[in-house]
């Protein structure tokens, strides 16, 4: 069922790999450091993200879309590939579990207040397992439909909120030091670095040489949509309220109204967000399974999807049940792990390729 996806579909996958949790988690963290200058930190993190996308795209180009760990194993040794695979598997299991937790927390806080978390986790997991079993081609197709719906929801949001916006809330601009802006852009950078999922999607790309373009285009769209979400929330509430609100983007959606008849449409936007977070979770589950498949060199991953899903569910339920711990990880711990696996690992792969190529050239010259 796993067919190939084209560059446009890959770019759209990048958008929903980053955006759904970024819109929920990031505004509070960024606003705490940068307040009304929050949009600048998004721009800074986008630049960093584009560099990560370039590194990841180059790694895919030098491996010509081969399965990443298999390629590493061929270039170094199978032991190195297996050890690296185990670490990356742990990283992706953790990341997927945190995504599931953020999803469940949001639903629990905003939509289904009385439903037990375990029920939500099992339900979401079952649906996502079904999605992953349908293959990345189907996920990419649904993802493109969901992305197209931005064309409906974004103008609806804007027209419904435009009379509540106050541009003075964005002033004074450039009021924060570079240090504050850098601190504010660290966490969004970790989100932008999630473009590294392309490493594991590479075998399914029709044209792996264009992975870098897919990453860049996806990240630019993410930046635009993040800016749209953050700037509208800032203009409606101002920087002080955003710091206090758990989900400022959706609080802004709650203000949307058309005349006196259509009011409190936040549930409409939440419903749309649910579609996109399902896609994010399914992309990460797919990547986790792909990582497992490459690490343990299994030909078919289908029997293991349920088992890995169970591990993720258990980690989500028992490891991340404390929301403060999750927030602390997002704020402080996340950057290190993401920098290690999303930046240093592909960078090391490129270095390995370059060194080997240089050696081969030297040998050619000698002979």
Partner 1 sequence: MPVHSKQGRKHTKDPVETVIPAPCPLSPSLDETLQEISLRIGTSSDVIIRRFTNESLSSLSLAFIYIDGLVNADTVNQTVIQPLMEHVTLKSDAITADKAYALIKDQMLPIGGVQEGKTVEHMLSLLFEGYTLILFNGLTMALAADTSGYEKRSVNEPTSQGVIRGPKEGFTESLRVGTSMLRRRLKTSDLRIEEYKIGQRTGTGVALVYLQGIASEAVLAEIRRRLDGIITDSILESNYIEEFIQDGGLTPFPTIQNTERPDAVAGGLLEGQVGIIIDGTPFALLAPSTFFNFFQSSEDYYQRYDISSFLRLIRYGAFFVSMLLPALYIAVTTFHQEMLPTTLLISLAAQREGVPLPALAEALLMELTFDVLREAGVRMPRTIGPAISIVGALVLGQAAVSAGLVSAAMVIVVSFTAISNFVIPSLAIANSIRLIRFLLMLIAATLGLFGIMSFLMVLLIHLAGLYSFGVPYLSPVAPMIPRYLKDIFIRVPLWNMPMRPKTSLGKETRRQGPDQKPQSIEDQKKKAQLSGQQKKPQGEDQA
- Taking the least distance from each CB to partner 1, the nearer of 256 and 291 is 256
Report the alpha-carbon distance of residue 218 to residue 213 in Å, rounded. Answer: 8
Nearer to partner 1, 246 or 274 (CB): 274
CA dihedral 195, 196, 198, 199 (to 10 degrees): 170
Nearer to partner 1 among residue 66 and residue 142 (C-beta): 142
Could you tell me which of 165, 154, 176 has the C-alpha nearest to residue 231?
A: 165
- 265's tokens: 């449409």
Rounded distance between C-alpha atoms, residue 57 and residue 213, angstroms: 8
Classified as helix, coil or strand, 258 is strand
Measured from the CB atom, is 177 or 271 closer to partner 1?
A: 271
Helical H runs in 111-177? 117-134, 136-148, 150-161
Closest CB to partner 1 among residues 164, 182:
164
Residue 14 CB, shortest distance to partner 1, in Å, is: 16
Provide CB contacts within 8 A for 129, sequence distance 6+. 285, 305, 306, 309
Exposure on the CB side of residue 77, measured as CA atoms within 13 A: 3
d(Cα 124, Cα 141) in Å, to the nearest integer?
A: 20
β-partners of residue 55 are none
Question: How far is 54 from 5, CA to CA, in rounded Å?
Answer: 20
Q: What minimum distance in Å lies between the beta carbon of 290 and partner 1?
A: 18
- For partner 1, the closer of residues 142 and 246 by Cβ is 142
Residues engaged in binding partner 1 (CB under 8 A): 1, 6, 8-9, 107, 111-112, 115, 123-124, 127, 130-131, 134-135, 137-139, 141-142, 144-145, 260-265, 267-268, 270-271, 274-275, 278
């Amino acid at each position: 069922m796993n067919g190939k996806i084209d560059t446009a579909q890959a770019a759209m996958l990048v958008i929903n790999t980053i955006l759904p949790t970024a819109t929920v988690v990031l505004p509070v963290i960024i606003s705490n450091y940068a307040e009304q200058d929050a949009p600048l930190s998004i721009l800074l993190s986008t630049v960093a993200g584009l560099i990560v996308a370039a590194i990841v795209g180059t790694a895919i180009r030098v491996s010509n879309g081969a399965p990443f760990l298999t390629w590493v194993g061929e270039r170094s040794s199978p032991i190195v590939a297996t050890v690296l695979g185990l670490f990356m598997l742990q990283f992706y299991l953790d990341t997927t579990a945190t995504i599931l937790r953020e999803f469940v927390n949001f639903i629990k806080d905003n939509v289904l207040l009385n439903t037990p978390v375990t029920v939500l986790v099992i339900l979401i997991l079952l649906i996502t397992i079904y999605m992953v079993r349908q293959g990345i081609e189907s996920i990419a197709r649904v993802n493109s439909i969901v992305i197209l719906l931005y064309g409906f929801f974004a103008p609806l949001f804007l027209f419904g909120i435009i009379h509540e916006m106050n541009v003075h809330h964005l002033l004074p601009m450039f009021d924060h030091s570079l240090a504050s802006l850098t601190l504010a852009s660290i966490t969004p950078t970790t989100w932008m670095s999630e473009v590294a999922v392309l490493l594991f999607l590479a075998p399914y790309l029709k044209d792996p040489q264009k992975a870098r373009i897919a990453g860049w285009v996806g990240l630019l769209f993410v930046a635009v949509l993040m800016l749209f979400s953050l700037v509208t929330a800032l203009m409606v509430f101002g920087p002080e309220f955003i710091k206090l609100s758990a989900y400022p983007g959706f609080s802004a959606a709650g203000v949307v109204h058309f005349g006196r008849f259509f009011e409190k449409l936040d549930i409409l936007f939440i419903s749309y967000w649910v579609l996109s977070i399902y896609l994010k979770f399914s992309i990460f589950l797919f990547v986790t399974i792909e990582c497992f498949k490459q690490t343990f060199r299994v030909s078919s991953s289908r029997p293991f999807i349920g088992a890995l899903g169970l591990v993720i569910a258990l980690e989500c339920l028992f490891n991340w049940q404390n929301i403060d711990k999750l927030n602390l990880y997002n704020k402080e711990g996340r950057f290190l792990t993401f920098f290690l696996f999303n930046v240093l690992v592909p960078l090391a792969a490129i270095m390995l390729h370059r060194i080997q190529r240089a050696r081969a050239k030297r040998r050619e010259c000698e002979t």
